[in-house]
Structure formats: C-alpha cells, structure tokens
Amino acid sequence: MDGWSHLLQGKLGVWVERIFGKGYHPEEAVQLRGGAQKIVYLVRCSNGFRFILYVWDLRMNYFREELEQEEPSEPLSGYGGKPFQTVNACLRNLQVRTPELYHFEPGGLEGEADFAFVEYIDGKEASDFFQADPEIQDQVFQPLAGMLNRMHQQTRAHWGKLHEPIPEAPSGCHLPMLTNAYRQLEYLSANISEFQNHHGKFVQVIEDLAAKIVTRSCYSFIHAELGPNHVLVDNQLRPWLIDIEGALFFDPEYEHSFMEFRFDNYRRYLKHTQLDPHRMAFYKLYHHISYSAGPHRLLQRGYPDAELVKQIMEFNMQSALQML
C-alpha cells in the first residue's frame, strides 16, 4: 500500500471502518487505468468487500496547468468531488443507473484532495458488446437509450451545472465552446504541422458553422462525455453510467455528436431525430479539435497509456481534417 498511502494521509483505514463498520479493513488497492483528472482505485477489504475510491488531487491532475490558469481544457469540464456528489444524487433520483456513492470526504482546505467511496460494479465497457448478438445488444443498449432519454428530457431555460446560479446575461452555450476552439486551434497550430498548415481554414469553417446556430431557451441534462468507456455493463447486462461529474444542462447535440462517432451502433439505438443539424456539425468539429489537443497535452505530460492516447489523437486529427 506504500504507493498510494501518501495520498490518503493514513486516514483510509479509519474512514473505511467509520463508513462500512467494524470488520472492514482496506487490505489491497489497485490503481485502475484511465483517469486524466482523478485517480481511481479498486480497494479490497479483508472481508472480501470491494469498493471504488475516487481521489481528486490537483497535484495529480494531467490538466492542472489549465485548471490553475482558469482555462480548463473544456469549458464544461467537471472537476472535483462536489460536482460528482451533486450529479450522483440527481441521476439516482431520475432512476438513471450509476454506482452508489457510499460517502464523500471533501478536502478541508482549498487544494486538499476530495475522496469519494463508491459502489464497485464488476463489468465490461459498452464497446465490448458492439459485436455481440443482436439480442444481447438489445438487452444492453435499449436500456441505455432509455436512461439517456430520461436525462435529456430534464430541461431548463439556462445552461450550466446543476449547482450554478442563473446567469445575469445568459448566452448560447455554443459561444464559450467557440472561444475554446480558437484556443485549442492556437495550441494545435503551434505543435502539429497539419493544424498549422490549415489554421485559417479551421477558424473559417468553425465560425461558419457557429454562425448558423439560432439561439434557443431550452437545454437538456447531458452526461457531456458519454463514450462507451463511460458505460459499464454488469453480468446481468445492465448498463451503468460512470465518470458523471461533468454532467450539466447543455445542448443535447453536444452529447449526440460525440456518441455518433464513439458508438458503433449509435444509429440503431441512440440516434435522435429532433436534433439541430447545424449544432450537430458545429459540435462534431469542436469534439475533433478538442480531442486532438487534449491527447497531445497528455502525451507531453507523460500520461501512462500513451498508445491509446496516440490512437485517439490520430483519429480525431484525421476526422477534423476531413471536415474541411
């Protein structure tokens, strides 16, 4: 346990007994793959009970530089345990399946880590079922579609996080994304020749797409990063949403334009007919720009799963170039 005790400040054993009761003592912790903004451990207790421990520690965040500059890599990026706690309660009230939050332990002072003790779901990623028999796919993805519909049917007149106040001068939620796209294109142009060679064209195309968007006054509750890696499927073929802390009220097209290229069976199960094609095109290009810049930063900062990150970056670079 030496490799992670410095994060837990010797408190984990005390917390576990307080939360779960006597007889629960953490015996083993394995850091799980992924987690650019939080650290994820699978903890096994001496009595065999297992749970997930999320640690939000800015010192271990691969996007620390952007967060400290108050320029997050995504304007709607979710960071910290408090948003996770808020969204978890909301989703469970909506009967959208997400692991139970057993206990949240906030950092006492600014800069201290947040900890969340969360139900362990023994499952596979949704992508493992893309090639399954149609009957199996139906059991997995039809309930997932139902969960997403329940989320997206929750609407309000202004966009933003659940806990954020109503803005005094509301604007379309695509506008900060356009500003962020400019910032990401500047970064990409400074680091990748393909973007440098086409910088002016990228700016022109995304501005043209943004100009076609008409203001609306109804925003849906979305996950905001719903790839198949954020859907766990248990041994009863039930889907569970994870990495939920970025959820907010936003254009549903942001969600759908992302799922469209992340889910091989999107058209069969998740496609929605009442979507704005202009927003779909704008957010598609935005995603490809953002998911070119983010992985490039991760590679420069020593992210461990480099091969996967390279594949993500290459796919999104080529997809962005094709939109020119």
Give the tens place of pLDDT for each residue, 27-47: 988 888 767 778 899 999 999
pLDDT score recorded for residue 301: 84
Write the Ramachandran bin of 289: left for phi over 0, alpha for psi from -120 to 50, otherwise beta: alpha
In this predicted structure, the answer to whether residue 212 has a pLDDT above a threshold of 70 is: yes
285 bridge partner residues: none
pLDDT tens-digit map of 179-204: 999 999 999 999 999 999 999 999 99
The pLDDT of residue 33 is 77
User: Can you tell me the mean pLDDT for 102-108?
Assistant: 88
- Give just the sign of the alpha carbon dihedral 244, 249, 250, 252: positive
pLDDT band for position 170 (50/70/90)? confident
For every residue of 43-87, DSSP letters joined together read EEETTS-EEEEEEE-GGG-TTHHHHHTT--SSTT---SHHHHHHH
What per-residue confidence (pLDDT) applies to 2? 41
- pLDDT: which is higher, 265 or 4: 265
Instruction: Decide: 81 and 115 in contact? Cβ < 8 Å.
Output: yes
Q: What is the pLDDT of residues 240-276, one digit of tens each?
A: 999 999 999 999 999 999 999 999 999 999 999 999 9
3-state secondary structure 261-290: HHCCCHHHHCCCCCCCHHHHHHHHHHHHHH
- Scan for tokens 């094609």, then name that residue: 277
How does residue 77 score in pLDDT terms, banded at 50, 70 and 90? low
**pLDDT score of 207 more than 70:** yes
Share of the chain above pLDDT 70, in %: 89
Could you tell me the domains of the chain? 2-122 (3.30.200.20), 124-322 (3.90.1200.10)
Least confident window among 12-16, 115-119, 161-165, 235-239: 161-165
Q: Is the pLDDT of residue 142 over 70?
A: yes
Token code pair at residue 159: 């966009």
- Average pLDDT value for residue range 5-32: 84
CA dihedral 54, 151, 140, 77 (to 10 degrees): -40
More confident position, 285 or 70: 285
CA angle (23 as vertex; 21, 25 as ends), nearest 5? 95
Residue 227 has pLDDT above 50, yes or no: yes
Contacts of 149 (CB under 8 A, 6+ apart): none
Tell me what pLDDT residue 73 has. Answer: 46
Return the pLDDT at 236. Answer: 98
What CA–CA distance (Å, rounded) separates 71 from 9?
Answer: 30
| Residue corresponding to tokens 């808020």 | 86
What whole-number distance in Å separates Cα of residue 195 and Cα of residue 202?
Answer: 8
* Mean pLDDT across the chain: 91
How are strands ordered across the β-sheet holding 219-222? Answer: 155-156, 219-222, 248-250
How much is the average pLDDT of 89-100? 98
Whether 103 has a pLDDT exceeding 50, the answer reads yes
What pLDDT is attached to residue 305? 83
**Across the strands, what pairs with 69?**
none
pTM: 0.92
Quick one: pLDDT at residue 61? 64
Could you give phi then psi for residue 217, rounded to 5 degrees?
Answer: -130, 30
